[in-house]
A = this chain, B = another copy of it.
């Protein structure tokens, strides 16, 4: 493997076509649940949900020793398995780089969820409901004392959100059982400030992940949300449950209702 490019090359060959063929094998599968197929399918779904309009947002899956990443700047509803980047998790080298395409600027942020939370899948959306929630919080319209966190409680859908962010079967340090939030729990999602360049979010995102050990998501002000889970199913259903809660929260705010009532 070339240390600079991360391409797989066989020792006995400089044949770049042959290298490409080997790298392509990483993304070609008849298994619909293979990450290269699943990311393509998720991108099409997220497009219809309004989460990845205009090439915004992204999704990444950790699969054995590899990380699969949708590329930057590609129309999400036209995503194909051959568009995928594949990175070696241990060395952070790209094993496959589609020609022409650029890797996603979200890559360091996805890696933060993989390494610090042992996540298996991470989803980034530009959902307008997420952005509106950060604006309402940031302006102190719901709670002037808490501009940096989205809080809501006593909505059934909160039960779709895990504590600790990757798996309901985990045990937290100290032996406390984790699992999903209950109806009477207060769900708290931290909000970090946006930066001019997406990769510069890494530091504050990692800090938020450290400081909020129970969160499975981080909101980015005027930008969107990062959500993760132990696998694709948990990341996706948590992203859906959160988006539901963001939308409901905006509608509640319009009706003059508090997200956390006394």
Contacts and interface: CB of A to CB of B under 8 A. Distances in A.
Interface in A20-54: 50, 53-54
B254 A54 contact: no
A56 interface: yes
Contacts of A222: 154-156, 183
A243 B182 CA distance: 26
* Interface size class, chain A: 35 or more
Interface stretch (A84-92, A113-121, A133-141, A209-217): A133-141
A58 interface: no
A157 B56 contact: yes
Q: Report how many copies the assembly holds.
A: 4
B128 A248 contact: yes
Contacts of A237: 54-55, 75
Interface of A: 50, 53-56, 75, 126, 128, 131-132, 135-136, 139, 141, 154-157, 160, 182-184, 194-196, 220, 222-224, 233, 236-238, 240-241, 243-244, 247-248, 250-257
16 contacts: A53-B157, A53-B240, A53-B241, A53-B243, A54-B241, A56-B156, A56-B160, A56-B241, A132-B248, A132-B252, A132-B255, A135-B257, A136-B255, A155-B223, A156-B223, A156-B224
A-B complex: 4 closest residue pairs judged by Cβ atoms: A54-B241, A156-B223, A54-B240, A54-B160
